[in-house]
Amino acid sequence: MSSPAVRRVVLLSSLLCAGALGFLPCSHAAAVAPGYVAVSAASFVPSSTCSSPDPVPPQRRNGTSAVLRLTHRHGPCAPSRASSLAAPSVADTLRADQRRAEYILRRVSGRAPQLWDSKAAAAAATVPASWGYDIGTLNYVVTASLGTPGVAQTMEVDTGSDLSWVQCKPCSAAPSCYSQKDPLFDPAQSSSYAAVPCGGPVCAGLGIYAASACSAAQCGYVVSYGDGSNTTGVYSSDTLTLSASSAVQGFFFGCGHAQSGLFNGVDGLLGLGREQPSLVEQTAGTYGGVFSYCLPTKPSTAGYLTLGVGGPSGAAPGFSTTQLLPSPNAPTYYVVMLTGISVGGQQLSVPASAFAGGTVVDTGTVVTRLPPTAYAALRSAFRSGMASYGYPTAPSNGILDTCYNFAGYGTVTLPNVALTFGSGATVTLGADGILSFGCLAFAPSGSDGGMAILGNVQQRSFEVRIDGTSVGFKPSSC
């Protein structure tokens, strides 16, 4: 086998024709085998500089749509009000990610939600039955304005939550509220603010998120997240301004007066789930229940969140589309059917029954979870492909058990990984969708035939378009 130095010379020539991320065809077929891609090893190193101040293509500003800039919460492209927050360690990120994934799998299987620290778990039996459960541990933020006059609010976005909320005055210091850089939203200063009254249809529509009792004839809400975080306050309405030309009058949200948990720094949460309280459902009359997003490949770049079709025709050219399936036990989630995986251009031998439970498309889970048989086949094929280049392995990193040490390599050659969904929709991942933290960015979870989760690593750089019947993927979109 050739030395690493020789391999670096050969692979560098292939990189020049393959492009920085290896998406372009390469004329040196002998340098990079079919089904493999060569990328710069430096591309895996985080940057401290934002390289895309405005990633929204001009054509997406036309038609009935609202476009918001989407950034990683802890990256240099995040709003200045959030960018000073210390990023969690890899270990903390993966631990939190595992809690979120386990929580989702419990929900979709019909099992009871579970809180994640020992004190919360012990107290779970005493949580009021009216408390709704969603999931914490999020990654991406947008900034919109709330109220009249508008006050900027930086909120985490979550396709796995329905109810949106921000911290509101009055809200005293911890433990009643967590620290945030922005001033708290003050409903008394907004001429368009109104508390939702008890007993009406809007309050009744909260369902599991409704508080068990009213206070001063105002509708209360309570949400507890899978990591033990929670928010409670008054269900309210106000004007939500998404862009200079797009405002949602009478937007219903939680005005939070008591929060605790892992939200520190951001002003609240923007729910994009499938149920009525979500922003998507509330604006369906204006934007048709259609939204799309493009998660940036790195914290140093930016993506976008679009409500509406984004163009005058309503067409979605360039998307590989699969059917959206129901999720009876947890109707908040967007579920599709994963049907196959290929590595290095070769289809893996995985029985269809392993994927039968469906796959949740989730912006908040970091790495994709696969049924055990599918993950074992993927790991074996990927390790075999990497072994042919002699890359030294590295110790496992939490839930990630296939890791490499690329120190000293100018370029790295990876076997392509492609995911196939129902109706033949195929998503061919870039290097950023294959490796994360130096490891194969997949993990096993649940059981064969149970639910899988498509995490945000595998969604990065794709525009993911969701409507009432389908989910589409368009590559190289941000």
pLDDT digits (tens, 9 = 90+) for 70-91: 887 767 777 765 444 466 677 8
For residue 264, name the pLDDT band (cuts at 50, 70, 90): low
Q: Is the pLDDT of residue 314 over 50?
A: no
pLDDT (0 to 100) of residue 82: 47
For residues 169 and 189, give the distance between their C-alpha atoms in angstroms, rounded to a whole number: 10
Residue 30 has pLDDT above 60, yes or no: no
Is the pLDDT score of 445 beyond 50? yes
pLDDT tops 90 at residue 9: no
Give the other-Cβ count within 10 Å of 174's Cβ: 10
Residue 52 pLDDT > 70: no
Confidence band, pLDDT 50/70/90 cuts, at residue 182: confident
Report, as an integer, the average pLDDT of 444-457. Answer: 92
As annotated, the active-site residues are 158, 362
Structure tokens at 260: 């605790």
**Domains defined for the chain, CATH in brackets:** 4-47+318-474 (2.40.70.10), 58-308 (2.40.70.10)
Average pLDDT over residues 28-54: 73
Token readout for 283 is 């604006």
Listed ranges 116-125, 208-217, 433-442; the one with the highest mean pLDDT: 433-442
Q: In whole numbers, what is the pLDDT of the chain averaged over residues? A: 81
How large is the average pLDDT for residues 325-348? Answer: 94
Q: Which residue has the higher pLDDT, 126 or 266?
A: 266
At 59 the pLDDT is 45
- pLDDT tens track for 359-407: 999 988 889 999 999 999 999 999 999 999 999 999 999 999 999 999 9
H helices of 289-429, where?
Answer: 372-387
pLDDT of residue 27: 31
DSSP letters for 274-312: SSTTSHHHHTHHHHTT-EEEE--SSTTSEEEEEEE-SSS
Buried b (16+ CB within 10 A) or exposed e, 72-84: bbbbbbbbebbbe
Q: Which two tokens stand for residue 92?
A: 């903390």
pLDDT tops 80 at residue 167: yes
pLDDT in tens, 343-363: 999 999 999 999 999 999 998
